[in-house]
Amino acid sequence: MDAKVLQNHLLELIRRTSAELPTDVVRAVQAGLRREKQGSSARYALQVIDDNIIMAKDKSQPLCQDTGTIICYADLPAWCSEGKFRKAYEWAVVEATRRGYLRQNSVDSITGKNSGDNLGPGSPQYHFHQTPKKALTVRMMLKGGGCENVGIQYSLPDTRLAAGRDLEGVRKCLLDAVLQAQGKGCGPGILGVCIGGDRGAGYVAAKEEFFRELDDTNEDPRLAKLEKRIMKEGNGLGIGPMGFGGETTLLGVKITHRNRLPASYFVSVAYMCWAFRRNGCVLTEGGKLSRWLYDS
Amino acid sequence: MLLEAPFTEQKIRALKVGDMVEITGLLFTGRDAVHKYLHDGGKPPVDLTDSIVYHCGPVVVKENGKWVVKAAGPTTSIREEPYQGPLMEQYKIRGVIGKGGMGPKTLQYCQSVGAVYLHAIGGAAQVLAERVVAVEGVHLAEQFGSPEAIWEFRVERFPAVVTMDSHGGSLHAQVLAESTEKLARLLG
C-alpha cells in the first residue's frame, strides 16, 4: 500500500473514532434515557448526552474535548512493517490534531510542556502484533483522563473489603470500584476488568475488554454470570448519570482473566466513560478499506 | 432557569441544589495549571470579581484569523479541591462549573463566600461548545499550553445543574452517602 493512502485511511479512522460513537454504545445510552424519570437530573444528563452524540457526528467534531490517550492496536501482515505503520499513524495523529479532531493532549511529565502535536514518549501508545493474514487490522481507542483517573487495582485479599481470592472477592472489588468512582469518571460507565496477571498486564487486558460489543455474552459462563450480576447490583447503587442519582450507573461490565503467580491476585478495573470511543478498520494490501469494525 | 451576568452574590445565594440553570454571560476557563498558579500568588490576567470559572480544557483552533471552539466540555473538578475555596474567597469568584463535584472544603467556602458549584454534563463537548458564541480573549496560553490557558468564553444559555449551593447542600455528598449505605446492605 502506498504510504499516502495508508496515512489517509488512518486519519479517517481517527476522525471517525473521535466524532462518532459506535451504535452499540448509542443504544445503551438511549435505553438508559428511557429508564430515567421525567424531569429528573439523570434524564436531563442523558438527554444532553444523546443530543451531543448526534451533534458531534453531524459536525464531524470531537464528542468530548478530552480526546484522551490514543491507544492503537495494529495486526501487521508481512507487507506492513512496524516502522511504516508508525510513520503513517504519526502523520495522521499530527494532522488530526491540526484539524481539531484531537486536542493537544501530550504533556512532558518532567517539564509540563505540551508537545502540541500529540507526539512524545509513549504517545501515541502502540500494541503491535504480527499476523499471517493478508489484511492489516487497526483498532484504536481514545480514552479520556477523567475515566482513566478512576481506574483502580486491587490486590487480594483485601481487609477493608473483606474480599478473598475468589469470585465473591472480585465482586466486592468491582462494586467498590463503582462506588468510589461515583460520577467522577463521566458515568454511566463501562468496566473493563482483568482478574489475575501482573499489575501491568492486568490493566492492559482490562482495557482490551472494551473492544467487546456491549451486548455480547462472555464465552466463559462463570464470568458471564458475574458480569450480569455486577450490572444489576452496580445500577442498583443509585449513583446515576454524572453521579446525579438515578438508575443508570453502568452501561456494561466486561471481564477477562489471566494466570497469576501463587503470591499475587490482582483485580484490575479500567473505567470507560459514556463517551466510549473505539473503532477499527481492515485494510487490504492494495489500499482498499474492506470494512469498519464497528457501526457508527 | 436563566442565570445572567452580572453574577451577584444575591443571585447566587438564591440558587439551590437541583436547580437546572442556563448561564448567559462571560466565563473564564481555568484548570490545573491556572489554579496552582493563582494559589501560588500568580497575578490573574482577568478580573475575577463576581465571575464564573469553568473547569475546561477546550479544543480551540484558529480559522481565518479567528478562534473557533471545536469542543468544550467540563473536566474533573476535584483536582482543584486544595485551591478552589481560598481562590473563591480571595477573588470573590461566585461560581465554578465543572464535573464530578467537589469536596467539603469547597462546600464550606461556597457558604462563607456566597458561591455555587455548577455541574455541566461531562463529555458533552459539542452541545456545550455550541453555547459559546464568542471567544473574547486568551491568557497564559504560551506558558501553560492551549488546554490549560484562561479562555474568555461569551456564552448564551449554557446548561448546568446546581449540585453544591451556598446553604451547605451537596448532591454529591448525598449520593455518596446513599450509595455507600446501599452497598453496605448489599454486602450484608
Residues B163-178 have pLDDT tens digits of 999 999 999 999 999 9
CA distances from B81 to A5, A132, A148, B4, B16 (A): 48, 52, 19, 26, 21
Residues A125 and A11 in one domain: yes
3-state secondary structure of A108: coil
Q: What residue has cell string 453496605? A: B184
Domain assignment present for A57: no
Whether residue B172 and residue A182 make contact (CB cut-off 8 A), yes or no, is: yes
Residues A167 and A259 in one domain: yes
- Best of B21, B81, B183, B185 to substitute, by most chain A Cβ atoms within 10 angstroms, is B183
Residues A139 and A163 in one domain: no
Cβ of residue A176 closer than 8 Å to a chain B Cβ: yes
Residues A128 and A166 in one domain: no
Residues in a beta bridge with A255: A193
Residues A138 and A195 in one domain: no
Give the integer Cα–Cα distance in Å for A27 and A213.
11
Cβ of residue B101 closer than 8 Å to a chain A Cβ: yes
Give the integer Cα–Cα distance in Å for B8 and B5.
8
* Residues of A with Cβ-Cβ distance to B125 under 8 angstroms: 52, 56, 61-65
The confidence score (pLDDT) of residue B188 equals 83
Q: Which of residues 69-98 of B touch A (CB under 8 A)?
A: 70-73, 75-76, 78
Residues A247 and A170 in one domain: yes
- Nearest C-alpha neighbor of A65 from the set B72, B159, B29: B72
Top-tier CATH class for B2-187 = alpha beta
Residues A133 and A161 in one domain: no
The interface pTM score, or ipTM, of the predicted complex is 0.92
Mean pLDDT over A220-237 rounds to 98
* Residues of A with Cβ-Cβ distance to B145 under 8 angstroms: 104, 107, 113-114, 116
Mean pLDDT over A31-52 rounds to 96
* Chain B nearest CA to A127, separation (Å): 26
Cβ of residue A212 closer than 8 Å to a chain B Cβ: no
| Region label for B173, one of left (φ > 0), alpha (ψ between -120 and 50) or beta (otherwise) | alpha
Mean pLDDT over A173-186 rounds to 96
Cβ of residue A103 closer than 8 Å to a chain B Cβ: yes
CA distances from A132 to A79, A136, A138, B129 (A): 11, 10, 15, 45
- Nearest C-alpha neighbor of B106 from the set B81, B75, B77: B81
DSSP A250: E
Please write the tens of the pLDDT for every residue from B24-56. Answer: 999 999 999 999 999 999 999 999 999 999 999
CB B123 within 8 A of CB A188: no
3-state secondary structure of B63: strand
Q: What percent of chain A has pLDDT over 90?
A: 99
Q: By CA distance, what is B78's nearest residue in A?
A: A184
B24-43: b or e for each residue (b if 16 or more CB lie within 10 Å)? bbbbbbbbbbbbbbbeeeee
In 3-state terms chain B splits into helix, strand, coil percentages (rounded to 5) of 35, 30, 30
Please write the tens of the pLDDT for every residue from A60-69. Answer: 999 999 999 9
Domain assignment present for A51: no
Number of compact structural domains in chain A: 2
Amino acid symbol at A33: L
Residues A8 and A135 in one domain: yes
Domain assignment present for A196: yes
Q: Which domain holds residue A245?
A: 146-272
* Chain A nearest CA to B5, separation (Å): 23
Mean pLDDT over A238-255 rounds to 97
Per the model's pLDDT, the better-predicted residue between A210 and B61 turns out to be A210
Please state the domain extents for chain B: 2-187
Virtual CA dihedral for A29, A271, A276, B79, nearest 10 degrees? 100
Domain assignment present for A33: no
Cβ of residue A292 closer than 8 Å to a chain B Cβ: no
Q: What percent of chain A has pLDDT over 70?
A: 100
How open is the CA angle B184-A146-A195, to the nearest 5 degrees? 55
**CATH number (domain holding residue A94):** 3.30.360
- Nearest C-alpha neighbor of A230 from the set A209, A244, A211, A200: A209
* Residues of B with Cβ-Cβ distance to A41 under 8 angstroms: 18, 20, 161, 171
φ, ψ (nearest 5 deg) of residue A140:
-145, 160
Virtual CA dihedral for A141, A147, A148, A152, nearest 10 degrees? -130
- Nearest C-alpha neighbor of A30 from the set A9, A16, A51, A5: A51
Mean per-residue pLDDT over chain A, rounded: 97
Is a pLDDT exceeding 90 seen at residue A246? yes
The confidence score (pLDDT) of residue B93 equals 98
- Nearest C-alpha neighbor of A144 from the set A90, A212, A95, A190: A190
Domain assignment present for A30: no
DSSP string, A35-96: HSPTT-HHHHHHHHHHHHHHHHHHHT--SSS---EEEEEEEE-TTS-HHHHHHHHHHHHHHH
Is a pLDDT exceeding 90 seen at residue A208? yes
